[in-house]
Structure formats: structure tokens, C-alpha cells
């Protein structure tokens, strides 16, 4: 059974534009990262959008939910900016059922050489194979249930919270 | 609950000696890799040996088994050379019970910049948190049960085999 | 005889702030880069400022010129943002004489793994040892005389121009 | 006027064979390194051999000398293993005249991520443009005249010696 990977952007896929000195999105690095990890879990990759997660709106989240519902695969990884990862998880948990959905990302762009992205991708692939249906945020080697996680803006790490 | 990590050597931790042009073992890179992955799973690391897995003998494997049995933690990751990973898994499965033991490694040394090590470490940490007690080899994004896995010497990838 | 290195900032020394997603200046990476290159040319490093070269003003350039004049060394390397490198070269050529001054920089930050910075530093160190007194911009493996160089904003490369 | 680059092997171009765990030669990384450095000095690259410099014999050195003599370009860079770089320099100095020949190499393979190769290539290109005709070894940011240099086997660095 294949695993579906949806790409939505985020720090993961940022690159450095040497003419403007700005960070920008080009193509996703997911295929390259899976090769580097010598991944042999069958995956099907599709880019849904390429945005900073701070710019992601309700329409974007509905689109992601729609793709998760329609996906033939019941194991889904979503790469996503870290800033609003917890919010997207909460919305997907309301709108999609009976699938294992893992949202992950990176604090440092993959192209910057010292990224956490490859580590996170490895753990996301492992968690999606083993966790029961539900929506999860996977960062820092841990998994968090949707609705019970937030990104600590001061430390940059993810932490568990009481369900609201 | 902490996860125990035992280091035994393998490609993971090889470095390049610029005076001799040979690969050799220096200190383990595990702590640096966990930092890079921004890991927050509590771990306790101990180096048991620093050997090529082709040079690992029965005494070495008995020592590893002994440490697994005595470990206070019931979740254990072992970093190991890939060549005899499957053999060590088989022996640990005979000698240790009621613990989740994940053996992982790398095809390319971490210090070489384009290593699969960080990906494998991420997936090992995720699998050790979620798989039931047993001994597993984790490579290529997948997990394999001890006794049912071999490294394909020609392709370098791990594959499932019928139990012997 | 020692070579003096003055650091002024520029892309060379930019880092990625993982909490804000912005590029910023922290400490200079020059000492680390010289170690990586196994440099044995005696150098004395001093940071004069840490700015984007687009934000560099006349006061900043006068300060750099002043330090070049007062420096005991007659071979000087200046790391600098690429956008106004040519302008600083022109001003230094007016204000400093009898010293070999090489201005260099990078299109990609050193911390991003695939930077041109190490290459440029290697060529800057070589040119400063061999070129006669004067002010030069060193990029793309080439050296250009002050007053006869500009950065092509569209291609990002440096090219020779007729003296104005 | 173009610069000629002859490739002869050495640590520069070593790669890691993940099936055997041995270092080996594949294609040269020179074109990739020149791109990374955004080099715009016109170069013409030719691979003469791919050997460890400890295995280089008189025939090999005669072949290199022959190519240097016949080359249309009078500026030549040779990438070479560091162990016998000084010996090749001495032989070329006897056999080739009226050309600026720079021999360089690396202590760490380029593919290993933290190589001195890019730094050395940058300085070799700069020295070959500025030094008078002669044969030079370029390492550690410095240039050494043929016949007056040796590699210190204990420290791995190049040092000047009295002419023999």
C-alpha cells in the first residue's frame, strides 16, 4: 500500500535567491530527500501549493482536507510550514476521518545543509506506517495529536497542550 | 520514559583520516545528529564498541544482548554497521524479550555530507516509540522483523525474506 | 608578513534565523572557513561592521578606508556584500595608496552548504599575495581593477567596464 | 586566453562506494566545483588519469609533462594527490619551460562536504593568473616553488625546504 505525500510549502522547501538575497520557493526537494534517505516505502507525491504557512488561509486548508478525503491512500504525509501546522492539524481532524495523517516540516530549509528536514521526513514516514488513524503533528522526533499541540514561538519547539 | 541508544560503530560514525586517506572511527556523531534533528525525545546514549560490523563476533553480540537485557529502558535503538545488522537482530531476538529494539545504521558516513544517517535516525526514533516489543531492523524508511530480513549485497538495500 | 582581513558583512556571513525565518548576521564564519581551507597564510582578522552592502553609507566606507590606511599590513582582504562592492572599491582606490587591497564576497551564504564563499576566499588570498599595490574586486575566479568593474544585476556576475 | 586544467586523480576526486565501503574514483568533480565557485575564468578541462598519487610512476609523470609541453595554453592547473605532488612538481620543472603550472589537490575529498578542495581550487586559479612562468605547488593558501617544497607527513601541511 502506497503512502501519499502532499507538499504545501514551508521552510522545508525554501531556497536562497542569489540575485535578490530573498528566500523563495522553487521546486520541492522531497524526491531528492527521499533518494538521499534511500527510502523504499512506496510513495506518491503531489504538490498542492507552495506557500509560507503564515499565508495559508481557510480556502487553502479546505483544499488540503479535500485532497486528503479523496486520496486513495489511507496513509498521508503533509509537508507544511511550522508556524500554523497545529492549526491545519486541528482542521484536518475535523474534516477527515479513518486515515493516518502526519504533518511535518522543518525549522531550517533543506538546501541550507544543516537542516532538520531529513530527520523529520524519516520520522514522519515511520509514524505514518505505525500510528492508528488520526491526525498528527510530527516534529522534534515526537508525534502530537491534533488539537493538543502548539509551536512555542520563543523556543521554536513543539509542545503538548491540554485539549481546548 | 527515556529511550536508550547503544552505539556499536558502523558506517554511521566513520570519518576520513586526512593523513592516511583511510576511514576510521573517532567519536560518535549521534549527539550532533540528534541536535541537528532538534530531537526532544529523551535519550540516554552509551557507546558499547566502535567496530565495522564485519568484524563483530559472538562475544560482541553477547555483550550487546547483555546491555539490552540490563537496560532500565524498554525502548532501545542500536546503531550498527549494515553488513551484519540482520545477524545481530536475529541473536538479540533470541536473547532479549519484552523490549522494543530497533537496529539502524547508514550506507554513507554522516560526516560525508550526503548521508542517509539522519533520515534513518529519524525513522528509528519514531519506530521505537510505536512498534510493539520485538527486535527490528530499520533501514530505507521501513522496519523489518528480526529473522525476516537480509541486506542485498548487490543493491545495498534491505529486503524481507521468508523466516528460516 | 601578515595579511589583514577586515569583515564588513554581506551575504558571506548571513545565517538563517529559524524562529523568524529571516536571514541575519551572527558571528563571522571567516575563521571557520580558513580552518576548512587549511590556510597557513598568517592573517589577522577584524570585524569592522556587519551590514548588508546596500545599507552601507559614506561614513561606513570612510571608516573602512581609515582602517586600511592605518593598518600595519600592506596586504588587505575585505569581505563585503556584492551589491556595492564596486562602489567601495572605487572609494578605497581614491583614499588608500601603496597597499594591495582585495574586496571579495559571496553570492550564497557560507552556512547554506553550497556557497561560492570558500572558492572566493581561496582566490582572494592568492590574489592579495601576488597583485601589485592597488584596489581590486575578486569574484568569479577573476580580479578586476577598482573603477573598472560592475556587478551585473541580472546575471549576478561581475564584469569589466570602461573606466568612467 | 584560456587556462588548461589537467586532472590526474588524488583525494580531490575520491568518492565513497556504499556497497564496499571503499573510496574510489568515479568522474571528476572539477566542473561541479567550478560552477559552485561561479568561475568565469575560461578553462579547458582534460582528465589524464585517475590515480592515487602514491601509485603514480615515471611513465605517468612523463605523460603529464608531455601534455603540459603540447598544451596550447601557457597557464596550466594540475589536480593531483598530495602525497607525491612535490615530486611531480620537481619533474615538471625539469621538463617544461615558459609556462605557469600550478599543482593543487585536497586533503579531504570534495564529496565529503567539508573539503578544502574548493578553497584550493580558488587559490590555484588565482595564482595561475598572476605568477610568472614556473612550476608551483599550491596548498594551504600558499604557493611553493617546485624543488623547494615538501608535504610534512605528520601534520599534513606543505612547507618550504632549502633547495636540494
Of the candidates D41, D129, D141, the beta carbon closest to that of C122 is on D141
The structure's pTM equals: 0.93
* Pairing outcome for strands A43-51 and A3-9: parallel
Q: Give the model's pLDDT for residue B12.
A: 87
- Whether D95 has a pLDDT exceeding 80, the answer reads yes
Of the candidates B36, B129, B143, the beta carbon closest to that of A114 is on B36
Residues from chain B that touch A107, judged by Cβ atoms under 8 A, are 38
- Whether B151 has a pLDDT exceeding 60, the answer reads yes
Task: Give the HSE-up count for residue D74: Cα atoms under 13 Å, Cβ half-sphere.
Answer: 9
Coil/strand/helix, residue D115: coil
Using one digit for the tens of pLDDT, what is the confidence trace for A44-89? Answer: 999 999 999 999 999 999 999 999 999 999 999 999 999 999 999 9
Of the candidates D107, D114, D123, the beta carbon closest to that of C122 is on D123
* Cβ within 8 Å of residue A104, ≥6 positions away: A77, A78, A79, A80, A120, A121, A123, A124, A137, A138, A139
C-alpha cell of A153? 514561538
C-alpha cell of C36? 576548512
Q: What is the DSSP string of C52-68?
A: -GGG--HHHHHHHHHHH
- Tell me how far apart the alpha carbons of residues B111 and B11 are, in angstroms, rounded to a whole number: 10
* Cβ within 8 Å of residue B59, ≥6 positions away: none
- Tell me how far apart the alpha carbons of residues C39 and D157 are, in angstroms, rounded to a whole number: 9
Inter-chain residue contact C16 with A109, CB threshold 8 Å: yes
Inter-chain residue contact D119 with C37, CB threshold 8 Å: yes
Shortest CA distance from B22: residue in chain D: D23
| CA B34 from centroid of its chain's CA atoms | 14
Average pLDDT in the B85-94 region?
98
Q: Give the model's pLDDT for residue D164.
A: 55
Q: Give the model's pLDDT for residue C112.
A: 86
In chain B, the percentage of residues whose pLDDT exceeds 90 is 88
Inter-chain residue contact C112 with A111, CB threshold 8 Å: yes
- Whether D54 has a pLDDT exceeding 90, the answer reads yes
- Provide the 10 A C-beta neighbour count for residue A155: 10
Sign of CA dihedral C6, C9, C14, C15: positive
- What confidence category does residue B1 fall into, taking pLDDT thresholds of 50, 70 and 90? confident
* Cβ within 8 Å of residue D163, ≥6 positions away: D147, D148
What is the ipTM metric for this complex? 0.96
Mean pLDDT score of chain B: 95
Give the strand order in the sheet containing C142-145. C43-51, C3-9, C75-79, C100-104, C134-139, C142-145
Using one digit for the tens of pLDDT, what is the confidence trace for D122-133? Answer: 999 999 999 999
- Whether C164 has a pLDDT exceeding 70, the answer reads no
CB B49 within 8 A of CB B9: yes
Inter-chain residue contact B140 with A40, CB threshold 8 Å: yes
* Cβ within 8 Å of residue C145, ≥6 positions away: C134, C135, C136
- Whether B164 has a pLDDT exceeding 70, the answer reads no
Subunits with 3+ C-beta pairs closer than 8 A to C: A, D
Burial of A13 (0-12, 13-18, 19+ CB in 10 A): buried
* Cβ within 8 Å of residue A117, ≥6 positions away: A12, A29, A33, A105, A106, A108, A109, A110
Amino acid at each position: 500500500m502506497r503512502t501519499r505525500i502532499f507538499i504545501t510549502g514551508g521552510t522545508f522547501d525554501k531556497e536562497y535567491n542569489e540575485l535578490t538575497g530573498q528566500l523563495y520557493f522553487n521546486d520541492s526537494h522531497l524526491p531528492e530527500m527521499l533518494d538521499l534517505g534511500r527510502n523504499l516505502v512506496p510513495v506518491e507525491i503531489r504538490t498542492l501549493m507552495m506557500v509560507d504557512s503564515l499565508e495559508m488561509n481557510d480556502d487553502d486548508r479546505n483544499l488540503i482536507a479535500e485532497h486528503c478525503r479523496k486520496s486513495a491512500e489511507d496513509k498521508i504525509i503533509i509537508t507544511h510550514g511550522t508556524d500554523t501546522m497545529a492549526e491545519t492539524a486541528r482542521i484536518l481532524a475535523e474534516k477527515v476521518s479513518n486515515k493516518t495523517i502526519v504533518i511535518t516540516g522543518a525549522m531550517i530549509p533543506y538546501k541550507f545543509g544543516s537542516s532538520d528536514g531529513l530527520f523529520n521526513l524519516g520520522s514522519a514516514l515511520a509514524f505514518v506506517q505505525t500510528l492508528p488513524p488520526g491526525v498528527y503533528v510530527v516534529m522534534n522526533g515526537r508525534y502530537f495529536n491534533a488539537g493538543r499541540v502548539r509551536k512555542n514561538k520563543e523556543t521554536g519547539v513543539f509542545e503538548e497542550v491540554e485539549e481546548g
